[in-house]
Amino acid sequence: MTDTAHTSDITDLFVIGGGINGCGIARDAAGRGLSVALAEKNDLASATSSASTKLFHGGLRYLEYFEFRLVQEALIEREVLLRAMPHISWPMRFVLPFHKDMRFDNTTPTSKLLTTFMPWMKGRRPAWLIRLGLFMYDTLGKRGILPGTSTVDLTTDEAGKPLNSKFKKAFEYSDCWVEDARLVVLNARDAETRGAEILTRTEVVNATRHADHWEIRLKDLATGEETTRRAKMLVNAGGPWVADVLRQKLGQNSRESVRLVRGSHIVVPKLYDHGRCYFFQGQDGRIIFAIPYEEDFTLIGTTDADHPDPETKPVCTEEEQDYLVDFASNYFEKPVSRDQIVWTYSGVRPLYDDGASSASAATREYVLTLDQTQAPLLNVFGGKITTYRKLAEAALAKIGEAFPDLSDNWTAGVPLPGGDFPVEDVAKLRDRLARDYPFLTPYAVRRLLRAYGTEAWDLLSDAKEEADLGQSFGATITARELDWAITREWVRSGEDYLWRRTKLGLRLNEAERAAVDTYIRDRAAQLAA
């Protein structure tokens, strides 16, 4: 990474928070010519943005809450994002098995409306209603890459093989997969390339507001050193901490708040051989996904549970594990068991607090509030990963009130690092990478291309054999790749690399994970000296 500290003693925009919203805003703002600095107290994507269900999706179930604007925006964004990052995102087909006993969550506006006029349904979600929802899903968004909905005969289609034989019919529709933590890092990298300063492991101690600027006190958590910065405008994209930052760090009085909702996931060895995802509906009205994950695993999630506060680390509780195992077992012919779980993760979604009666019903709409009583302050509440780019554009529209000469929106269709190739060329690039570096295993070729796209050639450079990539750590990890992660992706620990930049922690034993961590820490210290 290069030192891009601005020579001016005041920055145009200072962003608090290194999740997807903060990094997306920083990238957009830097691309419009603003001087930008971003501070993240931990690693990039260390909270909510690395703990999603890894989907670019419209949110099919949000139609039951009449959130049509949000769904339409997300549906349209899917293909915009696919074209900008075809290495870390790709189309996926979703299979929604149907049976007559499916039920509504009786708190949704749709269920209340239908049971009012058709009380005999008693909360049932009939096939015609699902098909209507999928028709809207197909037509609300502008599809050019993704195929539309179809009907699947589970008695003959391979998607029916792992399922309980009671399921005879399914609907199949399109959404997209995304490597969520890599999405954040690539936005940060592009922001830095455009002049932004990205400060990780840097805590905002407090910020003092003046008429025309903010004075921000920072602490480098690696060295303990404190510094003071000035900025014309502050963006609070603290995610789960947004309300705490607003009141405690910035000293501002506000009634705005977030509802913290915990989403937990489990990972088990691969449950089926095809590449499609399952969309399962529960008797409680909730839904979960079962998704092909990291080639040899299946990801199952998510839950919705209120979370007490941002300082309480989210974990997938035993109750949530039981819930997900039991939920999936209602669909699969061979039940899923607790002892199959190889990893769990949990994240806190900072949803805008709209007073909803349940965590599932809380709005996924984002809310941006601009305070210009003195130096401007923009607070970011809520949001979802699929609409992060649109959120950033909306944020820049508000930021433009303080910087009226800003240029127009520019990020649509502009690729992230490594994504400068057509979606249709993934297979061609994979073949080319294998030809150029014949010593790589087929798995290494697939993994490196999916992680780095066209930058895989920059990473591998002039290597002629595996030994040229330095020490091997297992699971195709080499010193060359770790050095790349340290110098270009802000990696400072084994956890950063093994569980956020990649998910290769799933493929290593404890000793191998420790060796990766030791190498990263020692190498980072050498480079910093």
Coil, strand or helix at 85: coil
Per residue in 388-413, pLDDT (tens digit) is: 999 999 999 999 999 999 999 999 98
Q: Is the pLDDT of residue 111 over 60?
A: no
CA distances from 106 to 64, 97, 137, 356, 524 (A): 10, 20, 22, 13, 53
In the DSSP assignment, the letter for residue 124 is B
Contact call for residues 380 and 395 (beta carbons, < 8 A): yes
Fill in the DSSP letter of residue 118: -
pLDDT band at 370; cut points 50, 70, 90: very high
Could you tell me which residues come within 8 angstroms of residue 42 by beta carbon, excluding any fewer than 6 positions away?
Answer: 18, 200, 201
Residues 432, 70: Cα–Cα separation, whole Å: 39
Higher-confidence residue of 151 and 128: namely: 151
Average pLDDT along the chain? 90
Indicate whether 284 pLDDT > 80: no
Encode pLDDT of 285-331 as tens digits.
788 999 999 999 999 999 989 999 999 999 999 999 999 999 999 99
Instruction: Write out pLDDT tens, residues 223-246.
Output: 999 999 999 999 999 999 999 999
Beta bridge partners of 348: 262
| d(C-alpha 524, C-alpha 160), whole Å | 49
Q: Where are the alpha helices (DSSP H) in 213-346?
A: 242-244, 318-329
DSSP 121: G
Extents of the domains making up the chain: 11-48+181-256+364-399, 89-177+259-352, 423-528
Distance CA 188, CA 161 (A): 42
Local confidence band at 363 (pLDDT 50, 70, 90 cut-offs)? low
Kindly state the average pLDDT of the residues 84-90: 97
HSE at residue 507, side-chain half, CA atoms within 13 A, is 18
Cis peptide bond upstream of 151, omega within 30: no
Helix H, strand E, coil C: the string for 310-338 is CCCCCCCCHHHHHHHHHHHHCCECCCCCH
Our CA angle for 366, 371, 372, nearest 5°, is: 145
CA 451, distance to chain mean position in Å, is 15
Single-letter amino acid, residue 110: T
Predicted local distance difference test score (pLDDT) of residue 101: 61
CA nearest neighbour of 104 among 277, 302, 361, 300 = 361
- In CATH terms, the superfamily for domain 11-48+181-256+364-399 is FAD/NAD(P)-binding domain (3.50.50.60)
- Among 82, 149, 103, 170, smallest CA distance to 413 is for 82
Residue 278 contacts residue 306 (beta carbons within 8 Å): no
Kindly state the average pLDDT of the residues 110-129: 51
332 contacts 164 by C-beta, under 8 angstroms = yes
Which residues on adjacent β-strands are paired with residue 173?
Answer: 94
Give yes or no for residue 120 having a pLDDT over 60: no
Candidates 182, 199, 349; CA nearest to 265 is: 349
pLDDT of residue 180: 97
Which of 48, 32, 46, 38 has the alpha carbon at shortest distance from 1? 38
End-to-end CA, the chain: 15
pLDDT digits (tens, 9 = 90+) for 188-214: 999 999 999 999 999 999 999 999 999
The DSSP bridge partners found for residue 346 are: 264
Q: How far is the C-alpha of 428 from the C-alpha of 444, rounded, in Å?
A: 16
Q: Which CATH number fits domain 423-528: 3.40.47.10, 3.40.50.300, 1.10.8.870, 3.40.605.10?
A: 1.10.8.870
CA–CA separation, 277 and 283 (whole Å):
20
Q: Which of 61, 58, 81, 80 is nearest to 71 (CA)?
A: 58
Cβ neighbours of 262 (radius 10 Å):
24
Please choose, from the candidates 418, 357, 350, the residue with its C-alpha nearest in 3D space to the C-alpha of residue 381. 350
- 95 is written with which tokens? 């299979």
Our CA angle for 326, 329, 333, nearest 5°, is 165
Neighbours of 68 (CB within 10 A): 12
Give 406-464 as a DSSP string: ------TTPPPTT--S-GGGHHHHHHHHHHH-TTS-HHHHHHHHHHHGGGHHHHHTT--
Q: What is the pLDDT of residue 320?
A: 97
Helices (H), 346-402: 388-399
Q: Is 183 strand, coil or helix?
A: helix
Over 80: is that where the pLDDT of 482 sits?
yes
What are the tens digits of pLDDT across the range 250-283? 999 877 788 899 999 999 999 999 999 999 988 7
Q: What is the mean pLDDT of residues 49-73?
A: 82
What topology does CATH give the domain 89-177+259-352? D-Amino Acid Oxidase; Chain A, domain 2 (3.30.9)
